[in-house]
Structure 1
């Protein structure tokens, strides 16, 4: 069994949490069957001519030979690299387990159905979602000299331990990988995914597609009566299109767009990211990246204006 642990890389506590999960998994299936990004790619000390691209290659190679994925997701702002990896695994028929200790749930309207994550696509592709939203129990008796901060820390650690142990047991019960979807629609169909962070909406990108004679598929999950069913329809449409045009504007690539980029990559769809005002990230020994490196190297074109969109559509 080969298991990929997808997690946010950019803070020590995120990496430590993922390492704790990987260690528990390795005790069950063996270290050689667990892949922990950053750790197993030796990211901090890796030397490569184009380091970010090399890291993408290493992660994608492992994504292509998995039996299961577990992804750690917390809070309303989800890591775009993790969401891209989830999409790649889901479109490849790999069972995905999601783990969260977020105490919030989300809905698309004030009285709408509650979702585990802000974008219903995330929940829709999961084989299993583990939610451990409450702190562990308080001390049975106040320990000598312990402050209420120490008790609060202990309750958080107990919550994490419960979540990780539950995840390990659930991972071992996931089904075997299924078949990768390879169906594609007519060559002229473009799936357009807007960004909730951008004021211009979907039409800003859909209009050039229509003007160029392409058919356009737009997301329906945000207005569907059943958001999960709508999300699965969106996934099918994006993986079946000839092209995916995704607006990745925002503090990070929107989680749904990131997931669709991963799914489209696994499905052989041509992908373009619209991102007119990038903010670059830098890390030791790595080239500047205009988006999470898993997004940057998954897409085939980076478009900064309407003219670039039109040129890409003409290719």
Structure 2
């Protein structure tokens, strides 16, 4: 029996209800045992564990490691970082991913660009197999109450998206572009995801620290040149990650950027160490769960965090020696 994983934002009732609606449609077609719905199927509200957040991460990861396809619900410009992490996890394993969105916006690097993406990070569009997009309201109904009429129009769009999702899963889906295991021998390579909110000097300092340990570095380029087609540079970034033996991603800001979250998931799935600066954000608290400084899929998907470059160096020393101790290593 195939297993379908529904990745969704789950911190508000309406988000959980939307995911349950989609999962219900899937279960009607494929059977309830063929669908895994986080929060629902981990019984998150009632789960009792001394380290509940980590246990939830483990339960979700166990399912992610053996799914046959993923349905990822994505809506709005501020994408859920946990969902993006799960997409990266599935994509790196070659799992087909069906992205479902009712967002009526598209995105581009400048105000006058003809280069448009369905998502605010083109890396997402590169790794998903297919997008189910229902950006418009359903037909107007005959209700006298305008709010009830507007509700019916939105519910029609949601029903259409769920129905198209089920239909798509009954056919053949293109596998996501899987990543090979990390390179252990040969030239050391590192993937660096720069800050989304500025501070390019950080990228230079991190790259210098990595080069001191013999790493050639690739700096993600999707957002650096507005004249370059970001969908093409997204392919280059994913290809570079495939050749990397570790990644350093910047997760600072109000939330983890979608691309950084996706890279964390891909690294967690393929055994690549992935490090990030401490986010410096407010902590989150939930009943029965230990405090988390980020979405728990991000927090526990990381190999380690660092407050400065000295701490990053300590992480590197656990696995690698500086080039001065082992002879020269080519860099680019």
TM-score by length of 1: 0.93
Return closer, same or farther for 1:59/1:12 CA change in 2, 3 Å cut-off: same
Gaps of 5+ in 1: none
Whole-Å Cα distance in 1 between the matches of residues 173 and 308 of structure 2? 44
Gaps of 5+ in 2: 319-332
Listed as ranges, the matches of 1:183-262 within 5 Å are: 183-185=181-183, 186=186, 188-200=188-200, 202-222=203-223, 223=225, 225-262=228-265
Q: CA deviation at 1:302?
A: 1.3
Q: Which residue of 1 aligns with 2:171?
A: 173
Matched, 1:34 2:35: yes
Listed as ranges, the matches of 1:27-176 within 5 Å are: 27-110=28-111, 111-139=113-141, 141=142, 143=143, 146-175=144-173
Whole-Å Cα distance in 1 between the matches of residues 198 and 282 of structure 2? 15
Return closer, same or farther for 1:150/1:138 CA change in 2, 3 Å cut-off: same
Q: Which residue of 1 aligns with 2:328?
A: none
Q: What root-mean-square deviation, in Å, do the aligned CA atoms of Structure 1 and Structure 2 show?
A: 1.8
- Secondary structure of 1:249 counterpart: coil
Whole-Å Cα distance in 2 between the matches of residues 178 and 208 of structure 1? 32
Superimposed CA distance per residue, residues 132-177 of structure 1 (whole angstroms, 9 cap, x where no aligned partner)? 00111112x4x3xx22122111111111111111111112224386
Matched, 1:292 2:286: no
Number of aligned residue pairs: 311
Match of 2:312 among 294, 309, 312: 309
Q: CA deviation at 1:50?
A: 0.6
Whole-Å Cα distance in 2 between the matches of residues 88 and 301 of structure 1? 18
Matched, 1:277 2:284: no
Whole-Å Cα distance in 2 between the matches of residues 147 and 217 of structure 1? 56
Whole-Å Cα distance in 2 between the matches of residues 4 and 271 of structure 1? 24
TM-score by length of 2: 0.89
User: In 2, are the aligned partners of 1:25 and 1:168 still within 8 Å (CA)?
Assistant: yes
